[in-house]
Chains A and B, each alone.
Chain A
Amino acid sequence: KAGVTQTPRYLIKTRGQQVTLSCSPISGHRSVSWYQQTPGQGLQFLFEYFSETQRNKGNFPGRFSGRQFSNSRSEMNVSTLELGDSALYLCASSLPELAGANVLTFGAGSRLTVL
């Protein structure tokens, strides 16, 4: 079955712009989580969505937002981009709250460069 698909894979933006990243989870997975990965900070949790509702949120400013659609696909948006937002943004899906099944399956990520 298809894995987690993220688009676009690479993008370059300038400071002040906004960006929208898309994630299609594994079929049947209803939980989608987003992470920011940078060399210095590792994987930082952004938010998790389940059944179109944000269930958990990390410590990121309000410029970072997301949503989930009825088909479990998710988008995240970053507004007013800053240089420090340059990172690999990873989406992961899972079957939550099933014993032994709460393994995150990651997509390949969207590499954002802010100039």
Chain B
Amino acid sequence: GESVGLHLPTLSVQEGDNSIINCAYSNSASDYFIWYKQESGKGPQFIIDIRSNMDKRQGQRVTVLLNKTVKHLSLQIAATQPGDSAVYFCAEILTGNQFYFGTGTSLTVIP
């Protein structure tokens, strides 16, 4: 999963399997969270968001789970496809539009 540090966590999954990417956030006052996907040579792209008054939100093939008790966020990708290979970042947002990003997790999908 994600952590602030020098090494980018990596995850390899077989095509068709489900992927789970984890993120530990630090500020209990964060009230909004976003997952971003960054493909090689591109900027981060919005995937899904969740507010702190929710514990689960689903999108197309993606689900975000929020556990405020342990300050943990996860992104689940169903039926992972080669196009899902990218670096995934979680962002915690404090009031005043202050964004804090993790260092990211590199997901590699094996065909």
Residue ID in chain A nearest B44 by CB atoms: A106
Contacts of A104 in B (CB 8 A): 34, 44, 46, 91, 99
Does A102 interact with chain B (Cβ within 8 Å)?
A: yes
Does B79 interact with chain A (Cβ within 8 Å)?
A: no
CB < 8 Å neighbour of B97 from A41, A42, A97, A109:
A97
CB < 8 Å neighbour of B101 from A39, A43, A103:
A43
CB < 8 Å neighbour of B102 from A42, A102, A105:
A42
- A42 near B32 with CB under 8 A, answer no
Interface residues as binary, A100-115 with B (CB distance below 8 Å gives 1, 0 otherwise):
0011111111000000
Cβ distance A39 to chain B, nearest Cβ, rounded Å: 7
Does A81 interact with chain B (Cβ within 8 Å)?
A: no
Interface residues as binary, A11-52 with B (CB distance below 8 Å gives 1, 0 otherwise):
000000000000000000001010100011111010010000
Q: In chain B, residues 2-51, which have Cβ atoms closer than 8 Å to a Cβ of chain A?
A: 4, 6, 8, 32, 34, 36, 41-46, 49
- B43 near A42 with CB under 8 A, answer no
- A109 near B98 with CB under 8 A, answer no
A39 and B100 CA atoms in complex are apart in Å by 16
Contacts of A94 in B (CB 8 A): 97
A47 and B52 CA atoms in complex are apart in Å by 25
Interface residues as binary, B86-100 with A (CB distance below 8 Å gives 1, 0 otherwise):
000101010011111
Cβ distance A28 to chain B, nearest Cβ, rounded Å: 16
Interface residues of B, Cβ cutoff 8 Å to A: 4, 6, 8, 32, 34, 36, 41-46, 49, 89, 91, 93, 96-104
Interface residues of A, Cβ cutoff 8 Å to B: 4, 31, 33, 35, 39-43, 45, 48, 56, 90, 92, 94, 96-97, 102-109
29 contacts between A and B (CB under 8 A): A35-B101, A40-B6, A42-B4, A42-B102, A42-B103, A42-B104, A43-B89, A45-B98, A45-B99, A45-B100, A48-B97, A56-B98, A92-B43, A94-B97, A96-B97, A97-B97, A102-B32, A102-B97, A103-B34, A103-B46, A103-B49, A104-B44, A104-B91, A104-B99, A106-B36, A106-B43, A108-B42, A109-B42, A109-B43
